């Protein structure tokens, strides 16, 4: 993608945001689904031609890490690595622009994909893995999973796992609950039953889903980040795409580097 293309993506995203696009945060007080940016963005590039998606290279399956708690909020505090982790949904052009920014800086990220986004944008699974990034499960529909009856919560986890397996060969490396920073014991148990020994929480909330603008996202992350941090961010937000190079530069100045979550904790 040329810089001109990137600028047009950002302009399109900014106008979608100005038109009232709704955020899709992970916090328990938001139940708004994404889609406004997606629907404002014109035709969906990955559906062109209606060709079935090619199978992406296999994603790393979940790993049980001895010594780590069931819910992981950060990695080692005595290292130099951090993990940038993304709620995976939204305009695929913005997601592609963001992955490109990460790759230009030599950074790896972790995308927790929502199942219905993978249904609409199946090519994104390959794009994420081909960039050397990590892919995980962020439920099928991003409902308030900790408030659902057990059977419905399990279906939200297992249906997204099925999508990931069909597209990549595994259920993905990590599970993160939707609309909750931490899973309840019930949801953590259901995730384990679905094949995920750990739940991926986070210790730095970028608050980027509120669309505060790139400088605020940059400041919020860099003020809080330290060795071992797991940072929560969102695809599908223009301010996050614009903030990423600034965040990566700030990490570099602090001697920190962005790696996959698996590299962070193993």
Alpha helices in 41-149 (DSSP H): 92-104, 115-120, 123-130
Contacts of 39 (CB under 8 A, 6+ apart): none
- If the CB atoms of residues 87 and 163 are measured against Zn ion, the closer one turns out to be 87
Tell me 203's DSSP state: S
Judge whether 237 and 243 are in contact, CB under 8 Å: no
Closest approach of Cβ 87 to Zn ion, in Å? Answer: 3
- If the CB atoms of residues 17 and 256 are measured against Zn ion, the closer one turns out to be 17
Contacts of 95 (CB under 8 A, 6+ apart): 88, 111, 121, 124, 127, 235, 236
Which residues bind to Zn ion, rule: CB under 5 A? 26, 87
Encoded tokens for 78: 């005595």
- If the CB atoms of residues 17 and 26 are measured against Zn ion, the closer one turns out to be 26
- Burial bucket for residue 67 (CB in 10 Å: 0-12, 13-18, 19+): exposed
| Residue 158 to residue 163: CA distance in whole angstroms | 9
- If the CB atoms of residues 182 and 252 are measured against Zn ion, the closer one turns out to be 182
Closest approach of Cβ 59 to Zn ion, in Å? Answer: 19
- If the CB atoms of residues 87 and 108 are measured against Zn ion, the closer one turns out to be 87
Closest approach of Cβ 84 to Zn ion, in Å? Answer: 14
Closest approach of Cβ 240 to Zn ion, in Å? Answer: 13
Closest approach of Cβ 104 to Zn ion, in Å? Answer: 25
């Amino acid at each position: 993608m040329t810089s001109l293309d990137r600028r047009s993506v950002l302009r399109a995203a900014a106008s979608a945001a100005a038109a009232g696009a709704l955020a899709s945060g992970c916090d328990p007080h938001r139940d708004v689904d994404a889609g406004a940016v997606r629907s404002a963005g014109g035709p969906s590039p990955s559906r062109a031609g209606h060709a079935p998606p090619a199978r992406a290279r296999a994603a790393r399956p979940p790993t049980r890490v001895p010594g780590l708690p069931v819910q992981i909020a950060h990695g080692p505090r005595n290292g130099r690595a951090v993990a940038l982790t993304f709620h995976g949904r939204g305009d695929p052009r913005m997601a592609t622009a963001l992955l490109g920014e990460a790759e230009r800086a030599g950074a790896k990220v972790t995308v927790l994909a929502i199942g219905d986004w993978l249904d609409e944008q199946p090519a994104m699974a390959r794009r994420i893995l081909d960039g050397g990034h990590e892919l995980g499960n962020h439920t099928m529909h991003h409902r308030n999973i900790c408030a659902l009856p057990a059977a419905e919560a399990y279906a939200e986890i297992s249906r997204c796992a099925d999508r990931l397996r069909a597209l990549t060969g595994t259920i993905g490396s990590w599970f993160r609950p939707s609309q909750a920073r931490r899973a309840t014991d019930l949801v953590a148990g259901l995730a384990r039953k679905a094949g995920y020994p750990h739940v991926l929480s986070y210790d730095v909330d970028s608050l980027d889903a509120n669309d505060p603008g790139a400088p605020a996202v940059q400041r919020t992350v860099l003020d809080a980040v330290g060795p071992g941090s797991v940072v929560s961010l969102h695809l599908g937000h223009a301010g996050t795409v614009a903030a990423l190079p600034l965040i990566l530069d700030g990490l570099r100045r602090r001697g920190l580097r962005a790696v996959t979550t698996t590299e962070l904790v193993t």
